[in-house]
């Protein structure tokens, strides 16, 4: 029983240094421009298509959750979870979809854009991919899916999506 007061003091000391619940720091709001309901327009195989994206915050405002519906344009359904990792001082995102894809990204604001990127190896070659949010306005933004085979010195846009907020 003589150790009980020391344990209580230790618990109080830990609680005083604990991280607050929720994510109210300014970095946790850097992706807030993406929140909302969006109609997406893009060209695929020479044809203009449309899809939908709903982006919300969850888990005490710590996580940005994306629900992508390719319909009617494509049969792709996907989800992503994005969060500012305070320990790494970076944004991290995980994407999964109905084609069995699992993609993980790291990044954040960069020269007026928001960039999340990843690197992986295929057939002995390092491949770099990134998504770029740019030209962000209150009700519109442009999203680019890019790839680099030269370590990121040059980027080729493979998919360009125009976002328009649904009112």
- Mode of pairing for the β-strands spanning 63-69 and 36-44: unpaired
Whether 6 is in a domain gets the answer no
Using a 10 angstrom Cβ sphere, with 0-12 exposed, 13-18 middle and 19 or more buried, the burial of residue 31 is: buried
Whether 76 is in a domain gets the answer yes
pLDDT band, very low/low/confident/very high, at 4 (cuts 50, 70, 90): low
Main-chain dihedrals φ then ψ at residue 34, nearest 5 degrees: -85, -15
pLDDT of 16 over the 80 cut: no
In terms of residue numbers, what domain contains 69? 25-165
Distance, CA of 124 to chain centre = 27
Whether 4 is in a domain gets the answer no
Lowest mean pLDDT among 6-15, 27-36, 37-46: 6-15
CATH value at residue 134: 2.40.128.20
Whether 88 is in a domain gets the answer yes
What digits encode the pLDDT tens for the residues 70-115? 988 789 999 999 999 999 999 999 999 999 999 999 999 999 999 9
pLDDT of 131 over the 90 cut: yes
Predicted TM-score (pTM) of the model is: 0.84
Average pLDDT, the chain: 90
What digits encode the pLDDT tens for the residues 146-162? 999 898 999 999 999 99
Whether 66 is in a domain gets the answer yes
Whether 114 is in a domain gets the answer yes
Whether 3 is in a domain gets the answer no
Helices and strands in the chain, H and E counts: 1, 10
pLDDT the model gives residue 12: 52
Whether 75 is in a domain gets the answer yes
Residues of the chain above pLDDT 70, percent: 87
Structural domain total, the chain = 1
């Amino acid at each position: 029983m003589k150790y009980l007061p020391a344990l209580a003091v230790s618990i109080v000391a830990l609680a005083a240094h604990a991280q607050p619940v929720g994510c109210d720091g300014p970095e946790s709001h850097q992706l807030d421009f993406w929140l909302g309901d969006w109609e997406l327009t893009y060209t695929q195989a020479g044809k203009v298509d449309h899809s939908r994206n709903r982006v919300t915050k969850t888990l005490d405002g710590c996580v940005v959750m994306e629900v992508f519906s390719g319909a009617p344009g494509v049969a792709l359904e996907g989800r992503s979870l994005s969060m500012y990792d305070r320990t790494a001082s970076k944004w991290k995102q995980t994407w999964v979809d109905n084609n069995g894809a699992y993609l993980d990204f790291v990044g954040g604001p960069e020269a007026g854009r928001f960039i999340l990127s990843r690197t992986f190896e295929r057939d002995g070659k390092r491949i770099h991919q990134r998504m770029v949010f740019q030209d962000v306005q209150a009700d519109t933004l442009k999203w680019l899916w890019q790839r680099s085979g030269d370590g990121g010195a040059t980027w080729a846009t493979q998919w360009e999506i125009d976002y328009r907020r649904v009112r």
